[in-house]
Amino acid sequence: MKGKWLPVVVASLAVLLASGYGYTADKPIKLGFVYIMSGPAATYGQFAKQGADLAIDEINKKGGINGRKVEAIFEDDTGKSDVGIRLVRKLVYENEVDAVMGIDSSGVAAAVTPVMKELKTPLIITHAAVPDVTGSLCNRYTFRIDLSINQNVAMAAAIAADLKAKTWSTVGPDYSFGHQSWEYFQKYLSKKKPGVTFLPDAEAAFPPPATTDFSAFITKVMNSKADGVVISLWGGNLIDFVRQASDMGFFDGKREVLMTLGAATEVLTALKDKMPLGIWVGTRYWFQANDTPINKAFVEAYKKRFEVFPSYNAHGAYAAVKAYAAAAKKAGSTDKEKIVDALEGLSLELPIGPTTIRAEDHQAISDGTWGQTAADPAIPIRILKPMRHFAGKDITPSVEETGCKMK
């Protein structure tokens, strides 16, 4: 009996060992993504997923990261902080991901950032712009690859300084993002152009994010004495606002208008020719901002696969995956601590342009683009013409200013 069974046991053991060995060698790198995938802002999650999928497929086609395939797990945080924290924990403890990426809402980003210290896992934020995550809340494991409020609003202020408007007001969503955008705009513009004045908050307009009828806010701003308005609404809010404001004569040329996220392709795609011409608009990434081969290849591949132009959120997710891959290559490992060390000070070429992740506060520094809305018969949406480019170092606050202390 013994003799009969021995070869079977040996063979099974051999198979087990072989498959076990193979398992470690080919074990994929797991990246966890957290975005808003349902509800009114779901279009942002959809774009981000496309950007991440594109980057991962490109990497896997070339043999993966350090010879290992990359796998993605997507989760829907519904824009809520508690859900975001739960999902990040789940991704780390249950799915054993090597890194977490994503986060649309600034509220979720600010809530998740402190948790990363406990999870000891790198987080690369790709959309949320709240200054604190690379400022007062900064920590060893949290990075941001996209432009922050400060960087975007610094460009708005630079453009506003060259315009004629003397009294500025704002229309911004009534939560931290809208209020912080306004706060930094005042701070930067008053430094650049000391003579300008700003309406007090009570005379500016802060519609709640659930607003669908903006008429009262539009009337309020039009009847104020402001001759310049900076608008930080985004997504569906911005679409509704622009259409209703156009009808009410808001864009009649009597006031200068800046939209900090007006060049988001999801907004421009919905509005098409309803987007007024000659408005200064900003974004975190503009697909025509530069002619580098890497940007051209990204836009072409994206357009071919998804039949739309890449939005800034698509770029954010794409950039985060590419940054992770670059860090893993630099570190020669996917050990979480080594990845963090490699991400600090990492320089890489992204579609948006050359990007460096500042070691001191983990904020990515890349060049920014604003532009005036213009029509182009070859493209179904509004484009930016003329464009103004800003060097990353000129729009990024110094580390002291951010209030970030890593230790």
Partner 1 sequence: MEGILANVLNGLSWGMLLFLISVGLTTVFGVMGVLNFAHGSLFMLGAYLCMQFVRWLGSFWLGLLLGPPLVATLAVVIERFLLRPLYGRDVSFQLLLTFGLMLFLDDGVRLIWGAAYHVVTPPEILAGVVPLFSQTYPVYRIFLVVLGPLVGAALWAFFAFTRWGKTLRAAAMDREMAEIIGVRVPVMFTAVFAFGAWLAALGGALAAPHQSVGPAMGEHIIIESFIVVVIGGMGSFPGAFVGALILGLLSSFGTTLLPDVQMALPYMLLALVLLTRPRGLFGEDV
Q: Which is nearer to partner 1, 197 or 219 (CB)?
A: 219
Shortest CB 215 distance to partner 1, Å:
4
CA dist list (Å): 36 to 4, 46, 75, 389: 59, 8, 8, 30
319 near partner 1 (CB under 8 A): no
Shortest CB 122 distance to partner 1, Å:
28
Q: Which is nearer to partner 1, 58 or 240 (CB)?
A: 240
Of the ranges 21-29, 93-101, 207-215, 299-307, which one interacts with partner 1 (CB under 8 A)?
A: 207-215
Length of the chain (residues): 407
- Give 120-176 as a DSSP string: T--EEESS---GGGGTTT--TTEEE-SPPHHHHHHHHHHHHHTSS--EEEEE--TTH
Choose, by CB under 8 A, the member of 26, 82, 96, 247 that binds partner 1. 247
Shortest CB 224 distance to partner 1, Å:
10
Shortest CB 208 distance to partner 1, Å:
5
Question: From CA 257, how far away is CA 397, in angstroms rounded?
Answer: 24
- Stretch 96-125 residues interacting with partner 1 (CB under 8 A): none
Binding mask 219-238 for partner 1 (x = CB under 8 A): xx-xx-----------xx--
Choose, by CB under 8 A, the member of 31, 32, 33, 45 that binds partner 1. 45
**Residue for token pair 């949290």:** 142
Shortest CB 46 distance to partner 1, Å:
5
Cβ 228 vs Cβ 199: under 8 Å: no
From edge to edge, which strands make up the β-sheet containing 347-350? 347-350, 353-357, 364-365
Cβ 352 vs Cβ 295: under 8 Å: yes
274 near partner 1 (CB under 8 A): yes
Q: Which is nearer to partner 1, 46 or 151 (CB)?
A: 46
Q: Which is nearer to partner 1, 173 or 397 (CB)?
A: 173
Give the closest residue to 209 by CA, choosing from 229, 185, 232: 232
Cβ 269 vs Cβ 275: under 8 Å: no
Beta strands in 218-273 (DSSP E): 228-231, 256-259
71 near partner 1 (CB under 8 A): no
Q: Which is nearer to partner 1, 149 or 171 (CB)?
A: 171
- Stretch 147-206 residues interacting with partner 1 (CB under 8 A): 174, 201-203, 205-206
296 near partner 1 (CB under 8 A): no
CA 274 to chain CA mean position, Å: 25
Shortest CB 36 distance to partner 1, Å:
9
Choose, by CB under 8 A, the member of 167, 244, 292, 356 that binds partner 1. 244
Shortest CB 243 distance to partner 1, Å:
7
Cβ 130 vs Cβ 106: under 8 Å: yes
Helix, strand counts (H, E) of the chain: 15, 15
Q: Which is nearer to partner 1, 213 or 337 (CB)?
A: 213
Q: Could you tell me the two tokens for 235? A: 């997504």
217 near partner 1 (CB under 8 A): yes
266 near partner 1 (CB under 8 A): yes
Count of residues touching partner 1 (by CB under 8 A)? 42
Task: List 99's β-bridge partners, or say none.
Answer: 31
38 near partner 1 (CB under 8 A): yes
46 near partner 1 (CB under 8 A): yes
Q: Which is nearer to partner 1, 138 or 233 (CB)?
A: 233
Q: Identity (one letter) of the amino acid at 64?
A: G
Q: Which is nearer to partner 1, 75 or 132 (CB)?
A: 75
Which residues, 6+ apart, have CB-to-CB distance to 118 below 8 Å?
Answer: none
286 near partner 1 (CB under 8 A): no
204 Ramachandran zone, left/alpha/beta (phi>0; psi -120 to 50): beta
Give the closest residue to 73 by CA, choosing from 44, 94, 104, 42: 94
Question: From CA 303, how far away is CA 190, in angstroms rounded?
Answer: 41
Bond from prior residue into 380 cis (ω within 30 degrees of 0): no
Of the ranges 111-119, 211-219, 282-290, 390-398, which one interacts with partner 1 (CB under 8 A)?
A: 211-219
Q: What residues line the site for partner 1 (CB under 8 A)?
A: 38-40, 42-43, 45-46, 174, 201-203, 205-208, 210, 212-213, 215-217, 219-220, 222-223, 235-236, 239-240, 243-244, 247-249, 252, 266-267, 269-272, 274
